[in-house]
Structure 1
């Protein structure tokens, strides 16, 4: 997995403490209301540090006629602020799969299918 220029990063300050934001991200009923992933999205936790960071494997049915799936990694980072709130950082990046060293493909990675 690599993070490159195709990653989308969003940062902001939230008035809620990290513990409250963590609950919104980690309890499925709250996550569904807050994030509203579509019916064609599958989420699986890849890594978690309670009240600090949470990384999901995000699999979404592809657009167009091929029906391929698109895999990406969504990471939420929570940092407490001096005012009792949370500095919130969301990074959504495509998931890359390493290519074998003897591959004829010019790029160093292939996008997961």
Structure 2
């Protein structure tokens, strides 16, 4: 993944990190605030309470794009001196690690 593959949004919120955390983790609040579509499956990948949260985001159901990649949506919460929260959202495609050797499928097919 390159930096250009990710969508990043940052802003100051007039609420403490604990309140923003609840909006991201309590299903009823998440639904009202983030409004994920019914055809979106969310699963927590990592969580550090009141600091950062990463969801795996996957389209599902009718209308999902065939072959669409999963993506990771990461929320970073930083307390501000005025009691608010610096909010950073990063939405990035999931990338598969590349093998360190050159014995990938193409190399193996050429050897056959």
Equivalent position SS for 2:69: strand
| TM-score, normalisation: structure 2 | 0.82
CA contact (8 A) 1:52 1:77 kept: yes
Q: Point out 4+ residue stretches in structure 1 off by more than 3 angstroms.
A: none
Aligned positions, number: 101
Change (3 A) 1:34 1:3: farther
Structure with higher helix content = 2
Looking at structure 1, the residues matched to 105 and 9 of structure 2 have their Cα atoms a distance apart, in angstroms, of 36
Gaps of 5+ in 2: 107-112
RMSD (CA atoms): 1.6
Looking at structure 1, the residues matched to 41 and 87 of structure 2 have their Cα atoms a distance apart, in angstroms, of 23
Structure with higher strand content = 1
Structure-1 residue corresponding to 2:22: 23
Highest CA radius of gyration, 1 or 2? 2
Structure-2 residue corresponding to 1:94: 93
Moved more, 91-100 or 42-51: 91-100
